[in-house]
Amino acid sequence: MSAHESQLLQVNIGPQHPSTHGVFRMEVTLDGETVVALRPVFGYLHRNHEQLAEASSYIQTMPYTDRLDYFNSMTSNYGYALAVERLAGIEVPQRASYIRALMSELTRILNHATAIGFMINDMGAWHTALQFGMREREKILDLFEMASGARMMCNYFRFGGVVRDLPPEFLPYFDQLMRGLPAFFDEFEQLLRDNEIIVARSSGIGILPRDVAAGYSVTGPVLRGSGVPYDIRRAEPYGIYGELAFDIPVGSVGDVYDRTLVRFAEMRQSYRILQQIRERLPDTGGGHINPALANFGKQKALRPPAGEAYARVESPKGELGFYLVSDGSTQPYRYKVRAPSFINLTPLGAMCRGHLLADVVVILGSIDIVMGEVDR
Amino acid sequence: MSDQPAAVRLTAALPAAWRDAARLEAHAADLPAVARFVRDRLGYAMLTNLTAVDDLARGEIEVVYHVVSPAGGAPLAFRARTPRAAARLPSLVACWPGAELQEREAYDLFGVTFDGHPDLRRIYLWDDFVGHPMRRDFPRQGDKYIAGAGEE
Amino acid sequence: MNRTIVISQILVIEQAPGWLVAALNHAIIAGVLLIGGAITMMLQVWVERRLIARMQDRLGPNRVGPEGILQSIADGIKMFTKEDIIPRAADRWVHLLAPIVALAPIAMMLAVLPWGRGLVAVDLEVGVLYIAAVSSISGVGLMMAGWGSRNTFALLGAMRSIAQLIAYEIPLIIALLGIVLLTGGMSLARMPELQAGIPLFGSSIPGAPDLGLGWFIFTPVGLLGGIIFFICALAEGERTPFDIPEADSEIVAGYMTEYSGMKFAVFYIAQYLLNFALAVLSAVVFLGGWQGPGVAWLADAGLGAAASLLSLLWLLLKAWGLFMLMVVIRAAVPRLRVDQLMSFAWKYLLPLALVNVASAALWVGLTEWSSIEWGNLLPVDGLAPWQRIGVAALVTAVINLGATRWVLRINRAPAAAPVVVPA
């Protein structure tokens, strides 16, 4: 190559592209097929979510957080509810906390199953892996529908609890799902972990070394895949996570393969957490919501005292943080979302440099982004 | 914040850097020194969140930095203020590469210029956009941009 | 061996001048092949979609016609009515000609394939050479499409397809070369005829029944050659895991990115037709072609037409089986990366194909040469033909197995599967 005079090729991947997971654009400079530089371009889905929230009352924003990460509306709800509760000093009953954690872990399983599926799709497998994940996701969405009435845009959380208790048909269906999950994990993991092409395509690709990963502010499976055992459920426990036993899986190299393995292991850990929650759930007391806020009018009229609060939850994609500043009125003075999908894209250019064009989409897939959250 | 010992150590180590030590509000010029101390001496290796807050009443923009330690614990928040009319702060990208996109976001939506940022461009809005929409006095414009569409 | 005579007899146009008869014959055969090709392509699309859907917990197209079998016709009508978009910056003529250049050589391939006992449109003495030559022309069409579209994705796709076609054509042809050595000729029409008899020994054992199972795939040379050929056929036909030139998740649709409407449909037809032609070719060369149990028996019983029909059925069965194997592979695995694709061609397939040619030569020597030709080094004259085949099979099996193991071992990447440790 060096003996010839080569011309760099500028390629726009996106905003309309099969594997940018929405309207995301990457300006890629190629030398042959090798990536020389990559610049992510954002904003095609920008709707100034934060400003809308600042013009709404606190509870009006709750359904809108569903639309941030539309795959994981439950954890988005959780983060926002947690921030407002911290700001206004609201107690959450024990049972509500258990239901919240249950929903969060179900969300994690569905997100990881489909995230792995989407990544394998980006590698060129014709949707088969994705369909495997989608099959389990449908069952979990059935559960969400039972509890909240909606499959994806759940709007289930309220300040001080959740909107309604679990319906009677929820737990039998949940138990049925739980019986099937280990077989699904085994099947899914075996199908993909032992596939030679997937291993060849993902190992050694998009390495984010352990010592720089934290500096790039990446969180979630991307950070843990690099070997940093950082999980907000352990680092700063919220809800009932302090009482639950689970391991934090970490990778060793920090490549795409490690991130995938971390997601596999996290699904199993979520299963473990769900087992513990299921065991203790019947004994929990306190109702599904704080009685002081059980009436929707009270939720609407919430006026947190002036001050600020930052709350974060471990969403399946990483640290989902909400920073709120209150001036004592019914609307937040400042509402900021710390979106994991967005900040995890910071090292994308560095991770892709020197790899081939085919690796770019795989690396992007391994970061697991949702454009609703990236562009907000 | 709740992480009192770290905040105490921070204020004690850099006594001159603070405009309001109780809120951990640093002078803009001292921000890089604070950041380096927080990262290297206090172990907060991750800048997890960077938020700009438009304080219309005081005519200032406050930028809040939430940093966390990979070892765990609650985040530490320190901040700096800059006048709205000429919002300008030193960039922390050299200290935390993770600040890159977040500083671009604050620049785009609040108009805070970060000196030393490697690639300070608008991130969400297009380059010819006028104004910074997250400022509290940004006028409500309706569908100004959509009405003009249709050419091209 | 001019099979077209049969047709002229059917038509009973004895008074017509000879050139007219020949022209009519060729036109009719070409028409039959092309219409058959189009129908095959529609069926292929339907089979592929349904089969993949079954593997993915879905139903697939099941609304248009019984079980959705007319879905492809509905799609075809949609294609016809779509706007034909030519990018402003494109080279109009190259853009227009590219699909035609891609399709024509593939249609030409169909001419020399023996579809059944006595059913071959053109019996070329150099059929294998013709196939190799013609099939590489379609690469020019792909390059024209990529270059003429003025689109970076299309250009990347075209570059990839050219690199891939060149890399895989070599082991493909060398795999065929082994069989050419065995048959001693390049005629494709003769290949199935040589695969009569029983597995491995063919018709060498006197008195053994002709089961039509003396397929080359049952010999060590044919087995290795067949596997290499099928892998290369996947790459030539741009099937997963080698669908790199049109990798939809990377470069949108590769060289087809800027095509719409009928031009896109022509590319689509070309691709499926090529897949089918390659499946037929694999069947003819390695799986006995139209040979199968019952064909020889019917022919001996004097039912020539029935034998031909049965033989056609056997060939189609084998070809569809291979096509379905391609579909299953597509649904099961992701695609390789460009560099992995190249190293697979040059580091695995090419050396194995070369070893296979050597094995084939040894096979011919052990089965057909006399002791004098061996320089009296090997006393092969005393052995019966089936004994000689047994010895040859043993020797070549050892060589091919050893070579395969060796190639796999020297190319093994250092195992680097990271271990997840719970914190």
Residues contacting C87, CB < 8 A, separation 6+: C95, C149, C150, C151, C258
Residue range of the domain that includes C45: 7-81
Mean pLDDT within A141-159? 89
For A131, the closest chain C residue by CA position comes to: C56
C309-367 pLDDT, tens digit each: 888 888 889 999 999 998 898 888 888 888 888 888 888 889 999 999 998 888 888 88
Kindly state the DSSP code that residue C198 receives in the 8-state scheme: B
CA–CA separation, A254 and A231 (whole Å): 16
- What pLDDT is stored for residue C1 in this prediction? 38
Specify whether C162 is located in the same domain as C311: yes
Shortest Cα distance, chain C CAs vs residue A263, angstroms: 11
Specify whether C116 is located in the same domain as C21: no
Q: Does C15 touch chain A (CB under 8 A)?
A: no
- What pLDDT is stored for residue A271 in this prediction? 92
In a domain, C366, yes or no: no
Quote the number of domains for chain C: 2
CA–CA separation, A194 and A214 (whole Å): 30
Predicted confidence band of residue A111 (pLDDT cuts 50, 70, 90): very high
C228-283 pLDDT, tens digit each: 999 998 888 888 788 877 777 777 777 888 888 888 888 888 888 888 889 998 99
Specify whether C253 is located in the same domain as C107: yes
- What pLDDT is stored for residue C3 in this prediction? 46
Residues of C in contact with A268 (CB under 8 A): none
Minimum-distance CB partner of A336 among B45, B51, B99: B51
Specify whether C15 is located in the same domain as C139: no
Domain boundaries of chain B, sorted by first residue: 6-86
Count the neighbouring beta carbons within 10 Å of the beta carbon of residue A216.
27
The answer to whether residue A18 scores a pLDDT higher than 80 is no
**What's chain A look like in SS3?**
CCCCCCCCEEEEECCCCCCCCCCCEEEEEEECCEEEEEEEECCCCCCCHHHHHHCCCCHHHHHHHHCCCCCCHHHHHHHHHHHHHHHHCCCCCHHHHHHHHHHHHHHHHHHHHHHHHHHHHHCCCCCHHHHHHHHHHHHHHHHHHHHHCCCCCCCCEECCEECCCCCCCHHHHHHHHHHHHHHHHHHHHHHHHCCHHHHHHHCCCCCCCHHHHCCCCCCCHHHHHCCCCCCHHHHCCCCCHHHCCCCCEECCCCCHHHHHHHHHHHHHHHHHHHHHHHHHHHHCCCCCECHHHCCHHHHHCCCCCCEEEEEEEEECCEEEEEEEEECCCCCEEEEEEECHHHHHCCCHHHHHCCCEHHHHHHHHHHHCCCHHHHHC
In a domain, C376, yes or no: no
Where does a domain end: C81, C102, C136? C81
CA–CA separation, A86 and A58 (whole Å): 13
Residues contacting C166, CB < 8 A, separation 6+: C139
Residues of B in contact with A46 (CB under 8 A): 124-125
Question: In the numeric block, which tokens belong to residue A320?
Answer: 């989902």
CA–CA separation, A220 and A225 (whole Å): 8
Kindly state the DSSP code that residue B80 receives in the 8-state scheme: E
Shortest Cα distance, chain A CAs vs residue C268, angstroms: 17
Specify whether C330 is located in the same domain as C229: yes
Maximum pairwise Cα distance, chain B: 60
- What pLDDT is stored for residue C8 in this prediction? 45
> With contact defined as beta carbons under 8 Å apart, do A191 and A199 qualify?
no
Whether there are 3 or more C-beta pairs closer than 8 Å between C and A is yes
- What pLDDT is stored for residue C391 in this prediction? 81
CA distances from C88 to A17, A26, B139, C96, C151 (A): 21, 24, 41, 13, 11
Where does a domain end: C348, C366, C386? C348
Buried-exposed string A65-85: b where 16+ CB fall within 10 A, e elsewhere:
bbbbbebbbbbbbbbbbbbbb
pTM over 0.90: no
Question: In the numeric block, which tokens belong to residue A151?
Answer: 């499959």
> With contact defined as beta carbons under 8 Å apart, do A278 and A175 qualify?
yes
CA–CA separation, C17 and C8 (whole Å): 12
For A338, the closest chain B residue by CA position comes to: B49
- What pLDDT is stored for residue C250 in this prediction? 76
Residues of A in contact with B133 (CB under 8 A): 48, 51
Specify whether C66 is located in the same domain as C210: no
Minimum-distance CB partner of A197 among C156, C241, C248: C241
Specify whether C225 is located in the same domain as C331: yes
> With contact defined as beta carbons under 8 Å apart, do A8 and A31 qualify?
yes
Q: What is the per-residue DSSP string for C223-257? A: HHHHHHHHHHHHHHTT-TTS-GGG-HHHHTTGGGT
Question: In the numeric block, which tokens belong to residue C27?
Answer: 């036109």
Phi, psi of C67 (to 5 degrees): 55, 20
Count the neighbouring beta carbons within 10 Å of the beta carbon of residue C109.
23
Specify whether C163 is located in the same domain as C248: yes
- What pLDDT is stored for residue B1 in this prediction? 43
Residues contacting C330, CB < 8 A, separation 6+: A126, C48, C52, C239, C240, C243
A114-127 pLDDT, tens digit each: 998 888 888 887 78
CA–CA separation, C285 and C122 (whole Å): 17
CA–CA separation, C200 and C197 (whole Å): 9
Where does a domain end: C348, C375, C410? C348
For B126, the closest chain A residue by CA position comes to: A43
* Contact: B133, A42; criterion CB under 8 Å: no
* Contact: A214, B99; criterion CB under 8 Å: no
Residues of A in contact with C347 (CB under 8 A): none
Residues of C in contact with A124 (CB under 8 A): 240-241, 243, 247-250, 334-335
Kindly state the DSSP code that residue B151 receives in the 8-state scheme: -
In a domain, C370, yes or no: no
The answer to whether residue C140 scores a pLDDT higher than 70 is yes
CA–CA separation, C327 and A128 (whole Å): 12
Residues of B in contact with A319 (CB under 8 A): 48
Q: What is the pLDDT along chain B (152 residues), one digit of tens a residue?
A: 444 577 777 777 777 778 777 788 888 888 888 888 888 888 888 888 899 988 888 888 989 999 988 887 888 888 888 888 888 889 888 888 888 888 998 898 888 898 888 888 888 888 888 888 888 888 776 666 655 544 43
The answer to whether residue A362 scores a pLDDT higher than 50 is yes
Count the neighbouring beta carbons within 10 Å of the beta carbon of residue A63.
15
- What pLDDT is stored for residue C5 in this prediction? 46
Specify whether C172 is located in the same domain as C265: yes
- What pLDDT is stored for residue C400 in this prediction? 86
Vertex A253 angle, CA A252 and A259, to 5°: 85
CA B48 and chain centroid, separation: 12
Specify whether C185 is located in the same domain as C60: no
Kindly state the DSSP code that residue C202 receives in the 8-state scheme: B
**Residue B90: which H helix or E strand, with range?**
strand B88-90
C211-242 pLDDT, tens digit each: 778 888 888 888 888 999 999 988 888 887 88
Using alpha carbons, select from A233, A220, A139 the residue that is nearest to residue A183: A139
Cα distance between the two ends of chain A: 43
In a domain, C291, yes or no: yes
Predicted confidence band of residue A2 (pLDDT cuts 50, 70, 90): low
* Contact: A255, C418; criterion CB under 8 Å: yes
In a domain, C360, yes or no: no
CA–CA separation, B113 and B91 (whole Å): 8
Residue linked to tokens 């809108």: A64
Residues contacting C12, CB < 8 A, separation 6+: none
Residues contacting C136, CB < 8 A, separation 6+: C105, C165, C169
C22-44 pLDDT, tens digit each: 788 778 878 888 888 888 888 88
Count the neighbouring beta carbons within 10 Å of the beta carbon of residue C196.
18
Q: At what angle do helices C127-135 and C92-112 cross, to 10 degrees?
A: 160
Question: Half-sphere exposure of C266 toward its Cβ, with a 13 Å CA cutoff?
Answer: 23
Torsion sign (Cα): C259, C263, C268, C274: negative
In a domain, C189, yes or no: yes
Specify whether C183 is located in the same domain as C278: yes
Q: Is C402 exposed, middle or buried (0-12, 13-18, 19+ CB in 10 A)?
A: exposed
* Contact: A343, B98; criterion CB under 8 Å: yes
Kindly state the DSSP code that residue C296 receives in the 8-state scheme: H
Using alpha carbons, select from A218, A209, A308, A40 the residue that is nearest to residue B47: A218
Using alpha carbons, select from B144, B134, B143 the residue that is nearest to residue B112: B134
Q: Is C79 exposed, middle or buried (0-12, 13-18, 19+ CB in 10 A)?
A: middle
* Contact: A375, B124; criterion CB under 8 Å: yes
A170-181 pLDDT, tens digit each: 989 999 999 989
CA–CA separation, C395 and A39 (whole Å): 58
CA distances from A335 to A322, A373, B53, C285, C306 (A): 7, 15, 9, 70, 81
Predicted confidence band of residue C417 (pLDDT cuts 50, 70, 90): very low
Cα distance between the two ends of chain C: 76
Residue linked to tokens 């950041």: B35
For C250, the closest chain A residue by CA position comes to: A358
Residues contacting A300, CB < 8 A, separation 6+: A57, A59, A60, A330
Predicted confidence band of residue C12 (pLDDT cuts 50, 70, 90): low
Q: Say whether the peptide bond before residue B32 is cis (omega within 30 degrees of 0).
A: no
CA–CA separation, A161 and A129 (whole Å): 36
Using alpha carbons, select from A225, A189, A190 the residue that is nearest to residue A366: A225
Vertex A41 angle, CA A39 and A44, to 5°: 165
How long is chain C? 423
Residues of C in contact with A267 (CB under 8 A): none
> With contact defined as beta carbons under 8 Å apart, do B30 and B48 qualify?
no
In a domain, C384, yes or no: no
Q: Are strands A25-31 and A9-13 parallel, antiparallel or unpaired?
A: antiparallel
Specify whether C108 is located in the same domain as C28: no
For A327, the closest chain B residue by CA position comes to: B55
Minimum-distance CB partner of C334 among A18, A124, A262: A124
A219-242 pLDDT, tens digit each: 989 999 888 888 888 888 888 888
- What pLDDT is stored for residue A270 in this prediction? 92
CA–CA separation, B17 and B38 (whole Å): 13
Instruction: Say which residue, C3 or A54, is predicted with more confidence.
Output: A54
In a domain, C341, yes or no: yes
Q: What is the CATH number of domain B6-86?
A: 3.30.460.80
| DSSP 3-state of C409 | helix
Mean pLDDT within A51-74? 88
Which chains have at least 3 CB atom pairs separated by less than 8 Å from chain B? A
